[in-house]
Chains A and B, each alone.
Chain A
Amino acid sequence: MHASDIAGPLVVVDRSTPALDAIRLIADQDLLGLVIAEHDGHPSAVVSSIDVTRYMLPGYLLDDLSLANTLGADGVEDLRLGMEGRTLGDLVDDDSVAVRRVLVVPADAGLVEVAARMVDARTQVALVHDTSRDEPVFVTLPGLLDALVGRWDARS
């Protein structure tokens, strides 16, 4: 089994996507992260949901966790107000957010190779370089582990 066998399309957003829309997308589709495309539509970066959440929270709450308790009911609204007008481009450019270059794996890479490359790059998503498909396709970490477990089950 190769990378191309377990690859599938993912939602790809661009830098101009409002940050609030991106958060809503993660929430609605239970995504682990987002693939961000350049202006030409080429996937270039991956940002995990935890980093999107990190961007949503004011830095001072992370400097002093006990303050989060004191916000009261307005705290939730503060987060929304704080994200208004911001885009994913702002998130990508923020020093405090870990944005990873999208990992590209060959279409014929084996499962172990893909696992090793994803762990090495510490990413949960890899773009499969598959010229036979029109749209970009990706291997996700749950998809990869599902394929590995499937192979173990098939052999036992």
Chain B
Amino acid sequence: MTVQIVLAIAVFVAAYVFIATEKLPRVLVALGGAALMVLIGATDDAAVFFSEETGIDWNVVFLLLGMMIIVGILRQTGLFEYLAIWSAKAAKGRPFRIMVMLIVITAVLSAFLDNVTTILLVAPVSLLVAQRLGKSPVPFLLAEVFASNIGGTATLIGDPPNLIIGSRGDIGFNDFIVQLAPIIVVLIVVLVGLCRVLFRSTFAYDAGRAERVMALDEKEAIRDRGLLVRSLVVVGLVLVGFVTSTFTGLEPAIVALLGAGLLVLLARLEPKRVFGDVEWETLLFFAGLFIMVGSLVNLGVIETIGQAAKGAVGENYFGASGVLLFGSALFSGIVDNIPFVATLAPLTNDIVQSGGAEARPLWWALALGADLGGNLTAVGASANVVMIGIAKRNGHHISFWEFTKYGIVVTAVTVGLCFPYIWLRYFL
């Protein structure tokens, strides 16, 4: 092992520790780590900018950018508030029915939007509805964040780890839906049942309170009908673009960028409102992360670990799927799942490349474990942290352990159900 490899591993491990412990902003750690990798010669400008295997994965970065622009404009229409209030009224102000409606809406939205954005959209309206119901909003918020992390697993664009898996594994939008959406639908139904039991003291019906929910006027949430129509048309086109990308040959990133460009043209909003929701720090975090992982690939570290992993796995891909599923869930519940998946993706790719179709379920095990594991603890996913912050600002403190005691149950049940799904679908 050369000094360069030792230094690169040290930089990578140190960066991981800093990201996991949140001692420093994660974007600083990722970019600092990337800079150190360049300085020690573990990578260079050609690899960073132009290598598909070891450089910045522009497909992921630009897919995220395009979707952030589209969602940033769409959220200004008031559509999401309309949907949430409409659903609460459709539930006739009955608390459990409202929770079910909000779970379903959150899960579906989060399959197509970033989970954090989904929570930012759904949490305020849930606080309003809970206040009108005279209930604590905490069970509603917890149910929504669980639904968001589960729903986001269903598609290529629902959760950032899926973007990485899709790009590294050359897996398309339709593949994600066909392989993951069935089990996600089951898990959402199971989540509804779990919430009925976990939050059973929340659901007493009060006719007077229900009247107050029914008094909300969802139509007033729509601020610009013209913008809403234009946005929905573009979102529809983008979804068609994703679904047909296999036939058109257009990468999802290109589809998202074309959609974003068209919507910017049609929206005619000032730049601050168009780009205000773009999380530049997140994009830079991804860039830094790809450079760091790419450096380890350059130096052969990932290949060496991959060889060892291949040796350990042999042809037992079902066993490997189980280890990957449960290991990813546990790990992602404790640290950010994005660097975790960025690191494991090239390793998994090595095994899948050599194992062929039989090894392909490893990708689904990784996606299910990493995405669903986010529900395990209060810090398991960015959406959890954001939801807890919103609750606190509104006077409702959710402690780490309060979240985690529910999170453990939800994660254990949902990840536990994925194991027989993988067995039945791919190995029986």
Contact = CB atoms under 8 A, between A and B. Distances in A.
Contact of A70 (B123, B220, B390, B395): B220
B358 interface: no
Contact of B394 (A58, A66, A70, A74): A58
A73 B215 contact: yes
A72 B217 contact: yes
Given A60-B394, A64-B81, A64-B125, A70 B218 contact: yes
A72 B393 contact: no
B81 A74 contact: no
Given A59-B393, A60-B123, A74-B212, A67 B81 contact: yes
Contact of B215 (A58, A60, A63, A74): A74
A78 interface: yes
Interface in B85-137: 85, 120-121, 123-125, 127-128, 131-132
Contacts of B301: none
Contacts of A149: none
Contact of B131 (A58, A63, A66, A73): A58
B223 interface: yes
Contact of B216 (A58, A59, A71, A82): A71
Contacts of B394: 58-60
B243 interface: no
Interface in B213-234: 215-218, 220-221, 223
A64 B220 CA distance: 13
Interface residues of B, number: 24
B125 A67 contact: yes
Contacts of B72: none
Interface residues of A, number: 17
A63 B81 CA distance: 12
A95 B374 CA distance: 29
A64 B394 CA distance: 13
Contact of A66 (B81, B120, B127): B81
Contacts, number: 62
B306 interface: no
Given A59-B394, A60-B127, A66 B78 contact: yes
B81 A72 contact: no
B220 A63 contact: no
Contact of A64 (B124, B216, B393): B124
A96 B85 contact: no
Nearest to B121: A64
B211 to A, nearest CB: 9
A156 interface: no
A16 to B, nearest CB: 20
Given A70-B216, A72-B216, A63 B390 contact: yes
A78 B220 contact: no
B124 A70 contact: no
Interface in A49-93: 58-61, 63-64, 66-67, 69-74, 78, 82
Given A59-B395, A60-B124, A66 B216 contact: no
Contacts of B390: 59-60, 63
Interface string B375-408: 0000000000000001001110000000000000
Contacts of B212: 74
A82 B127 CA distance: 13
A67 B128 contact: yes
Contacts of A59: 127, 390, 393-395
A120 B123 CA distance: 37
Nearest to B395: A59
A72 B127 CA distance: 16
B217 A70 contact: yes
Nearest to A96: B393
12 contacts: A59-B390, A60-B125, A60-B127, A60-B390, A63-B120, A69-B217, A70-B81, A70-B128, A70-B220, A71-B128, A71-B216, A74-B212
Interface of B: 78, 81, 85, 120-121, 123-125, 127-128, 131-132, 212, 215-218, 220-221, 223, 390, 393-395
Given A70-B217, A71-B217, 19 more contacts: A58-B131, A59-B394, A59-B395, A60-B127, A60-B390, A61-B128, A63-B124, A66-B78, A66-B221, A67-B81, A67-B125, A67-B221, A70-B81, A70-B218, A71-B128, A72-B217, A74-B132, A74-B215, A78-B131
